Chains A and B, each alone.
Chain A
Amino acid sequence: MDADLVADEGDDGSLKGDRIIAAIKASGVEFILSVPDIVTSGGLLRPIARDPHFRLIRVCKEDECIGIASGLHYCDKRALSLIQYTGFLDSINAIRGVGVEYAQPICMMIGLLGHDPHKVPRDSPRYGVRIIEPILDAMGITHHLINEDSDVAKIAPAIEHAYARSQPLALLIGRRPSVS
């Protein structure tokens, strides 16, 4: 079995991938733009790749997602960028220029690789995870932590709000979503 389909030790299934996917659909997202991330690979990206509701665009580097999502927005098409936090860090200039300064609804679902879901990201022992929320705050980007099934209800309204206000959004995935 592929590594991304094996549950993490201690994973109690408290974040279900199919619920997240249903929330993404409910938000009107048609395009998924992605570089694979082991946090979301099994529970989200694999089922999304099989789901005819979505058009999956596999990109080479995460900042491409920002341009593609912007182009789609001009055509009234909604997109979600499914990336790892390392890719978010690599894409900050694009997010700054396109998302923040040009006020485009760039919606990102960001896997926090190495995050301990029993802690808040700001207290993560991993430096790369610890700095994500402060960076988002500094950039004025709305963000939500999706760590439990009860957090999934935040997804569709947050995406709706991002498109209504034409502003970027970060949904931080704090643990591996379970595979259906």
Chain B
Amino acid sequence: MMQRDACFRALAPHVTDEIVISTYSSAVDWLELGERTLNYFSVGAMGLDSSHALGVALGRPDRRVICLQGDGSLLMNLGCLVTIAAAAPKNLVHFVVQNGTYEANGSHPIPNAKAVDFAAMARAAGFAHVHDFADLHNFEQQAGHVIKQTGPVFATLRVEPSKPLTYNYPKLYDARRRTALKAALGRR
């Protein structure tokens, strides 16, 4: 089993001009690694991070888009797997951080936490490439390759629940962040 922050540290060196979309605990850990204009945290409703990511991927097919979604969030929007597979954006990489809990809401377990297989769901939905990582060394070796594959790509990161995080939502969802992101993405 891995730690989410360690996975993100393994991913970060490979991320250059990709647009990274995340929310809640994943967003907190990702932001710890540094400010980027191309971080997209303005989600506004749980479960929709993957849908925001699809919108960006469709709107900017010339840029790669990485979604860092929690497992509780995906469960609130499971249909997105089918929608994304149907829309088939070649530039979208969808990571699901599977810690088995609704971490931002008291760390209660997600339904059927020990058995649910998100990678199998993504495969059945029709994703072009599907990965399932539970070993950090393996992920460190593969991360750069995974985010360069022709999408839609799906990867589960099986992690342990983290220590309690401090959720600074005003900082995370600051309107100035959205303004800067739109200015960056709207440019051609």
Contacts and interface: CB of A to CB of B under 8 A. Distances in A.
Q: A and B: partners?
A: yes
Interface residues of B, number: 34
B80 A72 contact: no
B86 to A, nearest CB: 6
A151 B105 CA distance: 45
A140 to B, nearest CB: 15
A67 interface: yes
Contacts of A94: 44-45, 48
B186 interface: yes
Given A61-B79, A63-B77, A101-B44, A74 B54 contact: no
Instruction: Indicate the size class of the contact surface on chain A.
Output: 20 to 34
B172 interface: no
Contacts of A59: 51, 79, 83
A66 B49 CA distance: 11
Contacts of A160: none
B59 A75 contact: yes
Contacts of A61: 77, 79
A18 B129 CA distance: 40
A83 B173 CA distance: 28
B82 interface: yes
Contacts of B83: 57-60, 64
B50 interface: yes
A145 interface: no
Contacts of A66: 45, 48, 51
A73 B59 CA distance: 8
B80 to A, nearest CB: 6
Interface in A73-116: 73-77, 79, 93-94, 96-98, 101-102, 104
A15 interface: no
A74 B19 CA distance: 11
A119 to B, nearest CB: 33
A96 B56 CA distance: 20
A32 B173 CA distance: 27
A60 B78 CA distance: 9
Interface in B71-119: 77, 79-80, 82-83, 86-87
Contacts of A144: none
B45 A31 contact: no
A166 to B, nearest CB: 9
Given A60-B82, A70-B52, A77 B59 contact: yes
Interface in A22-78: 31, 55, 57-61, 63-77
B44 A71 contact: no
B59 A102 contact: no
B186 A55 contact: no
Nearest to B186: A76
A71 B23 CA distance: 14
B178 interface: yes
A34 to B, nearest CB: 11
Interface of A: 31, 55, 57-61, 63-77, 79, 93-94, 96-98, 101-102, 104
18 contacts: A57-B54, A59-B83, A60-B80, A61-B77, A63-B47, A64-B54, A64-B80, A67-B43, A67-B45, A69-B55, A71-B57, A73-B182, A75-B60, A75-B185, A75-B186, A94-B48, A96-B44, A97-B48
Shortest beta-carbon contacts, A-B, top 4: A71-B55, A60-B79, A75-B59, A67-B51
